[in-house]
C-alpha cells in the first residue's frame, strides 16, 4: 500500500513539474520566439520571479518522493516497478542539473538586461536558453512517462 501511495504522490508532483514542459511545447516557446527584445525581457523577468518563488518546491518534493519511492521499490522487487521510478528519478535529477548549470545562469544574465540596454545578440541567448530547456523537456517528460508506465504496468 505504501508503494501505491508513494506512486500516487510522485505522479501528482511530477505532473506539476512536467506541466511546464508541456506548456512550452504547446505555446509558450513559440510565443517567446515571436517577441521583440523589450517584451521578451519583461516576460522572462516576470516568469523567473514567479518560478523562483513557486517552482522549487515541487522540484524538491519530486526529488525527495522519487528517491523514497526508489528505495521502497528496490526493497520489494528489482523488476519493472523498480526501473520505472529509477528512470523517473534520473529524469528529474537530469532536469535539475541542467537547470542549475544552464538555465539559471542564463536567467540571471537576462534579468540584468533592460528594454533599452541588452546585448545586440540577445536572440542567441534566448536560443541557448531554449536549447537547455529542450534537454530538460526530454529528461522530465521521459521520466514522467516512465513513472506513469510503472504505475499502469508495474503494479500487481
pLDDT digits (tens, 9 = 90+) for 44-102: 999 999 998 999 999 999 999 999 999 999 887 667 888 999 999 999 999 999 999 99
Q: How many CA atoms lie within 13 A of 127 on its CB side?
A: 4
Confidence of residue 155 (pLDDT cuts 50, 70, 90): low
Q: What is the dihedral of CA 97, 136, 94, 50, to 10 degrees?
A: 50
- Average of pLDDT values for 133-137? 97
Query: How many angstroms separate the CA atoms of 105 and 111, rounded?
Result: 10
Check pLDDT > 80 for residue 25. Answer: yes
The alpha carbons of the chain give a radius of gyration, in whole angstroms, of 18
Give the cell for residue 134.
Answer: 529542450
Give me the count of residues in the chain.
156
Query: How many angstroms separate the CA atoms of 86 and 67, rounded?
Result: 8
pTM (2 d.p.): 0.91
Check pLDDT > 70 for residue 146. Answer: yes
Is the CB of residue 78 less than 8 Å from the CB of residue 144? no
Task: State percent of the chain over pLDDT 90.
Answer: 86
Place of cell 536572440: 123
Is the CB of residue 117 less than 8 Å from the CB of residue 32? no
**pLDDT value at residue 75:** 86
Amino acid at each position: 500500500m505504501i508503494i501505491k501511495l508513494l506512486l500516487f504522490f510522485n505522479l501528482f508532483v511530477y505532473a506539476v513539474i512536467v506541466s511546464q514542459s508541456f506548456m512550452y511545447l504547446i505555446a509558450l516557446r513559440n510565443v517567446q520566439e515571436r517577441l521583440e527584445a523589450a517584451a521578451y525581457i519583461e516576460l522572462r523577468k516576470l516568469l523567473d520571479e514567479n518560478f523562483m518563488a513557486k517552482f522549487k518546491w515541487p522540484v524538491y518534493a519530486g526529488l525527495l518522493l522519487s528517491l523514497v519511492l526508489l528505495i521502497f521499490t528496490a526493497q520489494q522487487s528489482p523488476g519493472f516497478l523498480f526501473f520505472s521510478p529509477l528512470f523517473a528519478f534520473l529524469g528529474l535529477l537530469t532536469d535539475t542539473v541542467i537547470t542549475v548549470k544552464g538555465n539559471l545562469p542564463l536567467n540571471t544574465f537576462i534579468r540584468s538586461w533592460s528594454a533599452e540596454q541588452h546585448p545586440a545578440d540577445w536572440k542567441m541567448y534566448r536560443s541557448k536558453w531554449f536549447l537547455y530547456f529542450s534537454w530538460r523537456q526530454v529528461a522530465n517528460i521521459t521520466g514522467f512517462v516512465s513513472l506513469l508506465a510503472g504505475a499502469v504496468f508495474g503494479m500487481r
